[in-house]
Amino acid sequence: MGSKIRRSFSDREELLAKPKAFANDTSRASIDSYQSIDSSYPEYGKEPKWYKSSAADASGFKKYKNGKITLKRICLGTVAGVVVLVSVLAASGVVYTTYFGPEKWESEGWYPSPKGGTVKNWEGSYKKAAKLVCQMSLVEKVNITTGTGWAQEMCVGNTGSVPGLFPSLCLQDGPLGLRFADHATAWPAGLTVGATWNKELMEKRGELHGLEARLKGIHIILGPAMGPLGRMPAGGRNWEGFGSDPYLQGAAAAATIKGIQGQGVIATAKHFIANEQEHFRQVHEWGMPYAISSNIDDRTMHEMYLWPFADSVRAGVGSIMCSYQMTNNTYSCGNSKILNGLLKDELGFQGFVQSDWLAQRSGVDSVLAGLDMTMPGDGMVWADGNSLMGPTLTRSVLNSSIPIERLNDMATRIVATWYQMGQDDESKFSPEGPNFSSWTDEEEGLLHFGSGEGETGVVNKFIDVSSDHHKVARKIAAEATVLVKNEDSVLPLVRGSWGGKRVGIYGEDAGPGKGANVCKDRGCNQGTLASGWGSGAVEFPYLVDPLSALLKAFNTSKDDIPEISSILDNYSLKKIRKSAKEQDLCLVFANADAGEGFISDLGVAGDRNDLYAQKGGDELVKTVAESCGGPVIVVIHSVGPVIVENWADKPAVKAIIMAQLPGQESGNALVDVLFGDENPSGKLPYTVGKSLKDYGPTAGIMYIPNSIRPQQNFSEGLLVDYRYFDKNDINPRYEFGFGLSYTSFEFSDLKLTAKAPKTALPARRPDGLDPPAYDNKLPPISETLYPKGFNRVKKYIYPYLESADEVRHDGDYPYPRDYHTARQPSPAGGGEGGNPSLWDVIVEVEVTVKNTGKLDGKEVAQLYVSLPNSVEGAPVKALRGFEKVALGAGESKKITFGVTRKELSWWDTERQNWILPTEGKIGISVGRSSRDLPLYAEF
């Protein structure tokens, strides 16, 4: 997306010789001799001796029991590294057992990669794309699949372009706003959006987020996030997703995607798949030679972790980002089972798969496994200019290691997605590209920042794209505020009753701290917490802290101004105790922060160390609760559930608010709820237990690796969050879906109407359209060489080869095991998201909700399904529908749910399909939370 390309598309041949036309690698060895480093086997096609044979089930996942690695199989350097690690741990007093897990899992191969262009919704875009791709040379096709290198253009990721045909695409974080961009909204985080349980607000946030991206010249937003799902409540990036339930995640993701893509911007569903903790997620990030492996059985994969991605694909998502860690011992961006088999075949995904930044861990193998675009272009090391695609992809196609039809499909998927969003409309997407720089706040700077040299020019135009979006941001933050305790109706605070009284406000979280953006990528817990940290965070244009908003809210008239004291410190307990005794009302603020694993703060290395409030928050709250002369209101800002057992039952604690991560309008939204301008309607998108133990034996973060290649078996299966509590009859402090209001609601008149017969299997998989066909003839090698006089930019990634000698044929490429094994299309596939008949409504559920109180308010009707006892391993109940309804005092409304075949089914690993139970009764429960379901019926 270099400036010269932006200025002119008139002379394509001239521009091909310009440094900004393509992305470049010149130093990597020929791909035809490059072995996949993510292979679970030392020799392709041969089973290692440390594995005991075990038959694979029909899922394509093999489970090897009692596997043990012999040291002869491990390189001495790796052994030395582990010895050092063990020694360090031993010196620290940590008991460490070298252990390779009781079970060893591996994904089987699924080839070839299914081609795009097989569904009706994308037919027109694929026809246009085929015509355009037909005009591209081999290196041009390679160029649009490869990033230009870290910081080489204006965005966090940029593809190469084809001058006169196809622009460089700008990819930008993230899920809660535009990272590194100026004059844009810092939205409430995904978890906060999930807590609204409001599909309209979910879509509206996506729409305005997409609009801001388009106005900044961004083609692809790296969000929404639905992985991690929240299997471990202390997971560092749980806050980027929408909650700890696959249905809630899927519904929120689909609504967000519709909003973003309605603006013509490509949404990215991430992280695919099972990226559930930050510890050991990347090679070398934790000093480990391998990333952690998330080991998941087929049924759990479908009913839990794949579910929200299926909803995203059904919503038409244009891109999916594969994750860093291994899935069943194969790196996710090179895992053919999950990319080719599950995503492209079964879910019928028509867009393109992009890697997380440096998550690609192999060359040929990853491309064959279904990876379509590598980001940011660099291969194994940040900003080194060496790519696992770029010229290596050019070579691998020329020497036939990769079929040219695979490259054609990669390019076609990218171009078709561009057309599908209408990005060929230059009135909406200017060929000038992005109008901001991710790398400098100055108006002028290097056009290729990552090179450290070369041309300069205007890189920031400081265009304000936020408009009045703060109103929607404030509304979302207010509707996501969850009131979990309100004894004696201490809330809402009544205006006009505070003259002459004293109010104390305590805790660092109530104030501005050192400034909202003082730490890079929000990587520190200071001041009020409104976002987690990492690549999913953004620069705050401003941040309204609670104290500022409260001072303004109490200052409504001369006769109603209380005497307000504030101590914005968690540790001055003696001072706080003395002050609190003098107050008629105390508000105390505590929080818990976390984020992406490349940042550590206060001993929190991405994932939280526990589920308690941080920075002495518990002692702070206890001190205020034991000292205040009046009622105490506790406000918690957090990245997930916080254990409140140390103080929740203190007599003075009359109200507790879980305010999540509210974004830039934090204080204003909180005041709206405290004073009743907004009747609280938020519901918990997770369960608040009484201890971490309540969540189950596998819910804890793996802080210490259990082997050289850490193994994390998802042995709890479907029993995550409230499902585990239900199955084991554990009473939570506050259940999933719980939240109070200032009014009251009544549920009645449950009615079930069958809309289709209960047949076990969905309809036969429908036939798809024929994908585009190309002339698969290889071009002369001479067409792929650097043009004479080509002026290269340092570390910029180009697709050209240095010489024809790079293309060697040293024998047959050692293809991954199962590469030549034909796979049958999944019977559960045939449309976007899966077999279209899975969305047939089987039963219609009608309920009446009445506001029985004296105030207007909103209630969330939640529908849960209980499968018959004959379905082994099913949870007690699973969320399968929700609707938020606004009701005036005394008003009633009917709500109708259409419950689909998939929502009533379970995944059968033998038949490889969704099965609707035809024997026994299916239970339908409706109510206000997962533990408060007054209506029940069977059919």
Distance CA 200, CA 208 (A): 12
Collapsing DSSP to helix, strand or coil, 88 comes out as helix
Which residue's structure tokens are 């010196």? 91
Token output for 386: 């060496």
Token output for 481: 């505020």
Distance CA 867, CA 847 (A): 20
Peptide bond into 114 cis (omega under 30): no
Distance CA 647, CA 654 (A): 11
Token output for 371: 């990876």
Write phi, then psi, for 193 (nearest 5 degrees). Answer: -60, -40
Distance CA 421, CA 423 (A): 6
Token output for 90: 């031993």
Task: Reduce the secondary structure of 235-254 to three states and give it as a string.
Answer: CCCHHHCCCCCHHHHHHHHH
Q: Give the pairing type, strands 906-908 and 913-915.
A: antiparallel
- Residue 808 burial by CB count (10 A; 0-12/13-18/19+): exposed, middle or buried? middle
Alpha helices in 197-274 (DSSP H): 199-215, 246-261
| 598 CB neighbour count, 10 Å cutoff | 16
Distance CA 22, CA 800 (A): 9
Q: Under a CB-based contact definition with an 8 Å cutoff, are residues 299 and 906 in contact?
A: yes
- Who's near 83: CB < 8 A, 6+ residues apart? none
* Residues in the chain, total: 939
Distance CA 634, CA 653 (A): 7
* Residue type at 329 in one-letter notation: N
Distance CA 315, CA 306 (A): 14
Selection from 882, 894, 885, 880 nearest residue 842 by Cα: 880
Selection from 762, 807, 20 nearest residue 391 by Cα: 807
Q: Which residues are catalytic?
A: 356
Question: Which residues are 321's β-sheet partners?
Answer: 354
Distance CA 824, CA 110 (A): 9
Distance CA 659, CA 684 (A): 10
788: left (phi over 0), alpha (psi -120 to 50) or beta: beta
